[in-house]
A and B are shown apart, each in its own frame.
Chain A
Amino acid sequence: MIIREQMIEMKKRAWAQRYLLLMLGLLLFGMSDVSGQAKITQKNIDFIAYPDFPEGNSTWGDIGYNPVYNTVYIGVTNHKNNIGFYEYSVSNETMQLKGFINEMAHLRDYQWQGKIHTKIVFNAEGKVIFGTDGGESREEYLMNHPQGYAGGFLMSWDPENEKLTNLGVPMQYESIKDVDVDPETGKIYAISYPQVHFITYDPKTNEQKDYGRLGSAHVPRVIFTDKWGNCYYVDWRQRLVKYEKSQDKLIFARESLPAFEGTPGGFIITGITAYAKDTGSNKIYFVTYGAKLVELETQEHGIGKIRDLGAAFDFVDQPLWKPYIPNLNLGDNGKLYYFIGGHGNYVKDDTSVLMEMDPATLKKRVVLEFPTTEVSEVTGSDIKDKAGNMYFAGRKIQPKRKDAPESLPSIGDKLSIPFMIKFNPEKNIK
């Protein structure tokens, strides 16, 4: 017991020392650049507003880059019943509202959708695929009720003809929390909420297959695919589950993903929060809800090799499993970039931090900091254009002041303003 207490004390000291160094760095290099490495400043980052939807107050991971059209797509919601579908043209640097999901997909009022919670993915022809989500308390409780949730839809957007196709409801009353697509076959993978069913759907044949429930009381939010079109998820033990395409079956990792000692069960069952792919090396980096960075070396058959990359953030005196990181991108420089903070969980008071992590050396640093009134939460996984610009879906929350204009979007008693983040660690983009 004494040894354990001593170790805890030593760890605390080590955290304190690291944070002192960090603060020293901040003093020496200014608030925005805290290391002696390549300087990343506010000029490397841009915040881009979503026009023509004043009540749009949120986004959640529903962002993706389409290499065929060199565009980024984002779904912005009013968190109630209206989702604006946006296209950002990288070459024109223009953000445009293409329409509202309910209107474009011919949904009726009783088929209200709270948000797009899935990533936005693309098939080989550049058609845009995503799923919709109830995103509201009324979703789950009012099932089978006139005001209840009819279920989430799979959708496909054709950028050429600007046409949205409703690909149907995989499961009645269930939301779709994430999707991915096998670019070779066009098959869509999806995860339902709250019953955590893993589903495959082939839009060409209308064949849907339900592989059943894979989670416990929480739905891990993220699925991802490898270059062969296999799809990955986690079970309630945070073990990787792979849809092995060649066999059309699920295979389960024998061991759970690495987790810090003391990680609560509630953080285990929530799985992976974000990922980014290194397509050159077939490696996929991801971060768990328990704030651990992990490298998966994918292979066509079998689960692949796992490497523990350590903590997402270990500069302050708080449990290592605690930081909240629902985003991850990989720069052309081979480094991972992620924002920490959101949902009231910040590693620094009222501050979101942008981290850089080198998976080769395991070194990490804070590269930028933002007050939560400017960046309060960031989502998005693996969104990088051909020029190496990375994209995230950001949001800022500010207290409503008496003089705040009525027209500003809000959630509860706070202003909530979503925007897209464009970031390039090696280029001045402003």
Chain B
Amino acid sequence: MRFFHLFIGMCLTSVALSQQIGEKNIQFIDYPDFPEGNSTWGDIGYNPVTDAVYIGVTNHKNKIGFYEYVVSKDQMTLKGFINELAHLRDFQWQGKIHSKITFDENGHVYFATDGGESREEYLMNHPHGYYGGYFMKWDPEVEEMTNLGMTMPYESIKNLDIDTQTGKIYAITYPQVHFIIYDPNTNTMEDLGRLGSAHVPRMTFTDKWGNCYYVDWRQRLVKYEKSTGKLVFARESLPAFEGTPGEVIITGIKSYTKDDAHDVIYLSTYGAKVLAFYPVKTGIGSVEELGALYDTEDIPLWKPHCPNMNLGLNGNLYYFIGGHGNYVKKDTTVMMELNPKTKVKKVVMMFPTSELSEVTGNGVRDSAGNLYFAGRKIRPKNAETPEGLPSIDDKVSIPFMIQFNPEKELND
């Protein structure tokens, strides 16, 4: 089932709106057969081998539905629930998939699981406590989930990446911020230790050589240098706006997307700065500032919340701003377009938070140039709210996938 609920009125409320991009460029695609699924968080990825997008949808408690969207069929299917597919018992409950969903050269799907709950951290070693997060591998051909095991007991896995050449997995744990390398071929795991402070930066990403990047508590890039098997630390912190608070620094990078053709990785920090990062095979590489994510309202430049980023085939960056109660316009999520060459940006669409309240997902683009995000809408519950709608706390919370193409109409 799919639904279109963009409001033309809302689209026309900003003078900065793009002339070309409209409601026909975007569609929201529902997740079927899991009525209690109420959230997603960055757990989306595009598999070029199967031409499919994979998403993990959670009830934010103990059940995660694993979805496949086949692009050619325009079809979203629930493939199963993680606990059942991976033979987990009740005491191994998982709150969500918080990692990106990534792929090896053969099209095998990799992701990791997360406690995602208050009970995760505090109830360690308790019957109700969190056992720990798992690496998982999905084989789309035989539709089989393989449990690749845990990192550290009691720790969640907040993100992972894969070196497609060696098959090694890179991961970040929560809350102890350990950088882990795991080789599923040999079952060897290396723990390179704690890299963060009181917060776990959520994002890792790799370059074309299979090096992996993260940040330390000063928001300096940390690179796992594959050729030496060592961590290399940037000397300087990533650029930040003046006045950026410490807790925004320690949270690191929030979103990224790669331009493989030009060896550029675009990043946005938790401090709402957009950067172009030019990786090199050995050493850290260089960083170019592309300015603020959003600078048209009278709010601190470091403040906007943007946990998503995609790169269109047209070379422009697309990202949604807003979420977690932090919006640049009251009760409104805005979608931005930024040309990294000219550094010109504009609002291309706006949505009331009751239709789109938060968007995650990084670097998810299919071969036809469609961009994908994991979206969610939150609405207050009222007397007429049907009982069957998924909710978080006292609000209705409905997750859906966003398909977007700035240059093509997606629906009629």
Contacts and interface: CB of A to CB of B under 8 A. Distances in A.
A110 B187 contact: no
A300 interface: no
Interface string A89-129: 00000000000001111111011000000000000000000
Interface of A: 102-108, 110-111, 144, 154, 165-170, 172, 203, 205-206, 208
A172 B91 contact: yes
Contact of B87 (A102, A111, A168): A168
B125 interface: yes
A167 B87 contact: yes
Nearest to A166: B147
Contact of A206 (B84, B184, B186, B189): B84
A132 to B, nearest CB: 14
A9 B33 CA distance: 77
Given A168-B88, A169-B89, A172-B91, 10 more contacts: A103-B186, A106-B149, A106-B187, A108-B189, A165-B87, A167-B87, A169-B92, A205-B84, A206-B83, A206-B84
A102 B91 contact: no
A144 B125 contact: yes
B185 to A, nearest CB: 9
B142 to A, nearest CB: 9
A102 B89 contact: no
Contacts of B29: none
Closest 7 CB pairs of A and B: A106-B149, A168-B87, A103-B187, A206-B84, A106-B148, A167-B87, A166-B147
Contacts of B86: 168
B106 interface: no
Contacts of A105: 149
B41 to A, nearest CB: 24
B91 A166 contact: no
Given A102-B187, A103-B187, A108-B189, A170 B89 contact: yes
Interface in B64-91: 83-84, 86-89, 91
Interface of B: 83-84, 86-89, 91-92, 125, 135, 146-150, 153, 184, 186-187, 189
Contact of A108 (B89, B146, B150, B186): B150
A106 B182 CA distance: 10
B89 A107 contact: no
Contacts, number: 44
B153 A110 contact: yes
A165 B139 CA distance: 13
B87 A203 contact: yes
B146 A107 contact: no
Contacts of B84: 205-206
Nearest to B90: A208
Contact of A165 (B89, B91, B92, B146): B146
Nearest to B188: A103
Nearest to A106: B149
Nearest to A154: B87
A168 B149 CA distance: 10
Contacts of A165: 87, 146
Given A102-B187, A144-B125, A108 B87 contact: no
B184 A106 contact: yes
Contacts of B91: 172
Nearest to B88: A168
7 contacts: A104-B187, A108-B149, A108-B150, A166-B87, A168-B92, A169-B89, A206-B84
A170 B89 CA distance: 7
Nearest to B127: A172
B87 A206 contact: yes
Contacts of A144: 125
A208 B89 contact: yes
A102 B84 CA distance: 22
Contacts of B186: 103
Contacts of A111: 149
User: Which residue, B83, B89, B150, B189, has most C-beta atoms of chain A within 10 A?
Assistant: B89
Contacts of B92: 168-169
Nearest to A146: B153
B167 to A, nearest CB: 13
Nearest to B85: A206
Given A144-B125, A165-B146, A166-B147, A107 B187 contact: yes
Contacts of B135: 106
A205 B84 CA distance: 7
Contacts of A170: 89
A168 B89 contact: yes
A111 B150 CA distance: 10
A285 B293 CA distance: 77
A206 B147 CA distance: 14
B188 to A, nearest CB: 9
Nearest to B80: A206
A110 B150 CA distance: 10
Contacts of A166: 87, 147, 149
Nearest to A170: B89
A166 B146 CA distance: 8
B149 A107 contact: yes
A132 B184 CA distance: 21
B120 to A, nearest CB: 17
Contacts of A103: 186-187
Contacts of B89: 168-170, 208
Nearest to A161: B142
Contacts of B146: 106, 165
A105 B149 CA distance: 8
A112 to B, nearest CB: 13
A108 B191 CA distance: 12
A172 B126 CA distance: 12
Contacts of B150: 108
B238 to A, nearest CB: 33
Contacts of A203: 87
A147 to B, nearest CB: 12
A98 to B, nearest CB: 14
Contacts of A172: 91
Nearest to B137: A106
Contacts of A102: 187
A385 B189 CA distance: 40
A81 to B, nearest CB: 13
A172 B189 CA distance: 23
A349 to B, nearest CB: 45
